[in-house]
Amino acid sequence: MKQRIITRTVCVVLIVLAAFFSVSCTKQASEPINIVALKGPTAMGLAQLATEYAGGEDAEYAFSLESQPELVGPMLLQGECDLAALPANLAAALYNKSEGKIQVIAINTLGVLYLAENGDSIKNVSDLRSKTIYSAGKGATPEIVLRIVLENNGIDPDKDVKLVFVSEHAEVVARMSAEEGSVGHLPEPYLTVASGKNPSIRRAVDLNSAWTDIYGEASPLITGVLVGRKDFLQEHKEEVKVFCERYGYSANFAVENIDAAAKMISDLDIFEELPAKKALPECNIVYIDGEDMKDQLSAYLETLFSVNPQVVGNKLPSDDFYFTP
Q: Render pLDDT for 25-58 as a digit per residue (tens, 0 to 9).
A: 333 446 899 999 988 888 999 999 999 998 777 7
Going by DSSP bridges, is the β-strand pair 33-38/183-187 parallel, antiparallel, or unpaired? unpaired
**58 & 190 share domain:** no
Q: Which of 197, 215, 233 is the last residue of a domain?
A: 215
Q: How many domains does the chain have?
A: 3
User: For residues 145 and 134, what is the distance between their CA atoms, to the nearest angstrom?
Assistant: 14
Tell me which residue range forms the domain holding 24.
1-30
**188 & 224 share domain:** no
Identify the CA nearest to 50 among candidates 40, 39, 60.
Answer: 60
Predicted pLDDT of residue 30: 63
Task: Average the pLDDT over 233-260 and give the result.
Answer: 96
Going by DSSP bridges, is the β-strand pair 83-87/61-66 parallel, antiparallel, or unpaired? unpaired
Lowest-confidence segment of 6-10, 171-175, 190-194, 229-233 by average pLDDT: 6-10
Predicted pLDDT of residue 91: 96
Q: Which pTM does this prediction carry? A: 0.87
**152 & 162 share domain:** yes
**129 & 86 share domain:** no
Predicted pLDDT of residue 163: 94
Q: For residues 22 and 263, which has the higher predicted lDDT (pLDDT)?
A: 263
**117 & 211 share domain:** yes
Task: Average the pLDDT over 144-166 and give the result.
Answer: 95
**243 & 306 share domain:** yes
Task: Average the pLDDT over 150-177 and give the result.
Answer: 94
- Residue 16, pLDDT above cutoff 80: no
Per residue in 45-101, pLDDT (tens digit) is: 999 999 999 877 778 999 999 988 888 989 999 999 999 999 999 999 999 999 999
Write down the mean pLDDT value for the chain: 89
- Residue 228, pLDDT above cutoff 50: yes
Predicted pLDDT of residue 23: 36
- Residue 261, pLDDT above cutoff 50: yes
Task: Average the pLDDT over 302-323 and give the result.
Answer: 95
**246 & 209 share domain:** no
User: For residues 278 and 288, what is the distance between their CA atoms, to the nearest angstrom?
Assistant: 24
Lowest-confidence segment of 14-28, 134-148, 155-169, 307-321 by average pLDDT: 14-28
Spatial CB neighbours of 77, under 8 Å, sequence gap ≥ 6: 94, 98, 101, 102, 229
